[in-house]
Amino acid sequence: MTFLSGIQKEGIDPILLDGGDWLFNLGNVKKNKFAARQLLQKAKLLVDAYNLFGYAAAAIAEHDLAFGIDTVQQLEAQAKFPFLCANLFDADGKQIFPGSTVIERHGKKIGVVAALIQLPDHFLKKVGTDLEITDPVEALTREVKALGETVDAIFVLGHLDHKDIERVADTMKGIDFILEPASFAGSEPTWINDGEEVTPRNGRVLLQISGQGSTIGRVDLYLRERGTEWKPVSDDPASPGNLYNASHTRLASHIGRHPAMDKLVTEFLTGTHYTGLTEEDVTFIPSKEYLGAETCAACHVEQTEFWRSTGHGRAYATLEKTGDQFRYDCVSCHVLAYGETFVDAHKVGAFKDVQCESCHGTNPKHPEDPAAHRWPQMTDKSCWSCHDPRVTRVPFDPQSAFPQVSCPPLKRD
Ligand code: HEC
Ligand code: HEC
Ligand code: HEC
Ligand code: HEC
C-alpha cells in the first residue's frame, strides 16, 4: 500500500493484476479445522486488502479452488474487481467467471484475459467439485478474438504449464504480455531462463513474478503503435515499435507500513479465536511421546542453558513480538511438534520454542533409565522440516549451522 501510494504520487494510475493462486494453498487444508478456518479468514483479508489496493483483476487458478467453487464465489461477491478464468465451467457447462475484462487508463484500453492449467481429474476430485476445465489456449484465443480491435494491448494471465505457455507465446495472435505466477518453475521448467523474470519472445513479453507477496513486479508501457513488437526501453528508442520497462521491487520493511493495512492485519491477528471449533473437531489426540524441555532440564542443566542462549530457545518470543503467534502459517516451525502436541494455536502450553525433541527426536523412556534408552546419533534430517529454504527463503547449510546449535557434550566418566 505504501509502495503503491508512492507510484500514485508520480502521477501514475497503475493497473494491478494478479496471475492466480492468491487465495489459498492446497496443502492439507481440510484436515486441521483451526488452520482451515484461518485460511478462510486470510482469504477474506486478502480480498479486503486487494480492494484497498485498487486491484483491476485477479485470475483464479488451481490452489484458489482448495475450498470448492462456492467459497471462491463468496469471495468474488466481496471483491470490487473481477475474478477471471476463461476455461472453468460448472456441471451444466456454464462458464463460472468472466474470461476477460477491459481497463482504461491514461486514455488507453488494456484487455486482460485469464485461464488456468488443465488439471487431472484426481485433482478436481480432491477439491470435491464437478468442474470442467477446457483447453486453456482455445479459451484464451476465443476471449482475445472477442476483444478484437477494441483494446490497445492485451495481457494474458496464464496459470499454465510450460507447454501451454509456449503455445500461447508462439501461436496466439493479438497478445502483448503474458503474466505467469512462477508456480511451476521449480518442478517443471518454463521457457524462462533461470534467474530471469522477464523474457521477450516473438515480440511479446513473458513476465514472471513470485515471492509470496514479498516482491512486486512492475512494467511500464510506452504504447506507440498497436500490434507492433515490444522491445525493452534499453534498446534503440528511435526504432519503431512499442517499448516496455520491467522491474521488480522487494517489498522490504524499509518501505514502511500503511495505517489502513495495519488496521486490517491487526483485526485479522486479533480475531483468531474461532468459535464453535473444538479439538474433537479435528479428532486430535495429543502424542504422549513428547516430554518437553522442562523434563530434560532437570538432568541436563548445561545443555538447557546453552539451548536457551540460541535462537531456538526464543523462537516463540520471535512470533509474539509481531503478534504472529496465533497464525497457523507461522506457529509450526516456532514450537515443538505442532499437530502432534497441540492443534489450537491458543493452547501452546509447554510446547513454545524449538525444543530438545525438535532436534533429538522422541525417546519417552529415556529419563527412567538413560543408559538403557539412548538417543540416536544426531543428523541434519530433523533440521530440514523447518529450515526449508522454499518457505523461509533463507539458505540452509547444515555444515555451518550444526556447530552453532550443538549442545555441550555430556561430562562422562
Ligand atoms: C521445529 C523447527 C526447527 C528445527 C527442527 C530446527 N530449527 Fe533451527 N531454527 C528454527 C527457527 C524458527 C529459528 C529462528 C529462531 C528465532 O530466532 O526466532 C532457527 C534458527 C536457527 C539458527 C540460527 C542461529 C540462532 O541461534 O538463532 C541455526 C544455526 C539453526 N536454526 C540450525 C538448526 C539445525 C542445525 C537444526 C537441526 C539439527 C535445526 N536448526 C532444527 C527452527 C527449527
Ligand atoms: C517452514 C518453517 C517456518 C515457518 C512456517 C515460519 N518460520 Fe520463521 N523461521 C524459520 C526458520 C528456520 C528461521 C531461521 C532462519 C535462519 O536465519 O536460518 C526463522 C526465522 C524467523 C524470524 C527471524 C528471527 C530472528 O530474530 O532472526 C522471524 C521474525 C520469523 N521467523 C517469523 C515468522 C513468521 C511471522 C512466520 C509466519 C508468517 C514464520 N516465521 C513462519 C522457520 C519458519
Ligand atoms: C532423569 C535424568 C534425565 C532426564 C530427565 C533426561 N536425561 Fe538425557 N541423559 C541422562 C543421562 C544420565 C545420560 C547419560 C547416559 C549414559 O551415558 O549412560 C543422558 C544422555 C542423554 C543424551 C546423550 C546421548 C545418549 O543417549 O547417551 C542426550 C542427547 C539426552 N540425554 C537428551 C535428553 C533429552 C532430549 C531429554 C528430555 C526429553 C533428556 N535427555 C532427559 C539423564 C536424563
Ligand atoms: C537445534 C537442535 C538441537 C536442540 C534444539 C537441542 N539440541 Fe542437544 N544437541 C544437538 C546437537 C547437534 C548436539 C551435538 C551432538 C551430536 O552432534 O551428536 C547436541 C548434544 C546434546 C547433548 C550431549 C550429547 C553427548 O553425547 O554428549 C545433550 C545431553 C543434549 N544435546 C541435550 C539437549 C537438551 C536437553 C535440549 C533441550 C533443552 C537440547 N539438547 C536441544 C542439537 C540440539
Residue range 350-389, pLDDT digits in tens: 999 999 999 999 999 999 999 999 999 999 999 999 998 8
pLDDT band of residue 185 (cuts 50, 70, 90) is: very low
Q: Between the CA of residue 279 and those of 30, 282, 294, 347, 351, what are the distances in Å?
A: 14, 5, 24, 10, 17
pLDDT value of residue 212: 65
CA dihedral of 236, 238, 241, 243, whole degrees rounded to 10: 60
Taking CA atoms only, the protein residue closest to ligand 4 atom 2 is 359
What is the distance between the alpha carbons of residues 140 and 59, in angstroms, rounded to a whole number? 13
Characterize 25-48 residue by residue with b for buried, 16 or more Cβ atoms within 10 angstroms of its Cβ, and e for exposed: ebeebeebbbbbbbbbebbbbbbb
Nearest CA-CA partner of 20 in 82, 54, 64: 64
Residue with more model confidence, 102 or 198:
102
Q: Phi/psi of residue 388, each to 5°? A: -95, 105
Closest CA to 22 of 51, 50, 52: 50
pLDDT at 106: 86
Cell 502432534 sits at which residue? 340
Give distance in angstroms: CA of 390 to centre of ligand 1: 15
Whether residue 147 has pLDDT greater than 70: yes
Cell of 38: 484461518
Cell numbers given for 129:
467439485
Ligand 4 in reach of 356 Cβ (< 6 A):
yes
**CA 13 centroid distance within chain:** 26
How much is the pLDDT for 349?
Answer: 96
Residues 6+ apart with CB under 8 A from 46: 22, 23
Ligand 1 proximal residues by C-beta, below 6 Å: 310-312, 314-315, 318, 333-334, 354, 358-359, 380, 382-383, 385-387, 398, 401-402, 404-405
Q: How remote is the CA of residue 311 from the centroid of ligand 1, in Å? A: 7
Average pLDDT, the chain: 89
Which residues have C-beta atoms less than 6 Å from ligand 2? 318-319, 322, 324, 327, 329-330, 332-334, 386-388, 391-392, 394
Ligand 4 centre distance from Cα of residue 337 (Å): 17
- Are residues 178 and 207 in contact, defined by beta-carbon separation less than 8 angstroms? yes
Ligand 4: centre distance to CA 356 (Å): 7
Tell me the mean pLDDT in the region 184-211.
64
For residue 109, what are the contacts with CB-CB under 8 A and spacing of at least 6? Answer: 102, 103, 150, 151, 152
Ligand 2 centroid from CA 66, angstroms: 25
As a whole number of angstroms, the distance between CA 154 and CA 177 comes to 7
